[in-house]
Amino acid sequence: MAKKATKRKLVGLVSDLSGHRTYYTTKNTQTTTEKISLRKYDPVARKHATYTETKKSLGRNEVKARKS
């Protein structure tokens, strides 16, 4: 069964306290153009911290060209 085309992209969330990318989520890039920030638990710092969306691509959203 073919996958349905979607406008949602996979983004990583980085903690402001520890700098680790612990959580991943999807977001609709057409309706939400600004970076998302969520308050989640940071297991490294062992407290709640603000997680912001990474600006670097995770490489899972693009289709890579085949080598010929």
Domain boundaries, the chain: 8-53
* pLDDT for 55: 65
CA distance 29 to 64: 20
Superfamily of chain region 8-53: Ribosomal protein L33 (2.20.28.120)
pLDDT, one tens digit per residue, over 31-43 is 988 999 999 999 9
pLDDT, one tens digit per residue, over 3-23 is 777 788 888 899 999 888 889
What letters, b where the CB count within 10 A reaches 16 and e where it falls short, cover 13-45? bbbeeeeeebeeeebeeeeeeeeeeeeeebeee
Cα first-last separation, the chain: 27
Angle (nearest 5°) at CA 33 between 16 and 25: 55
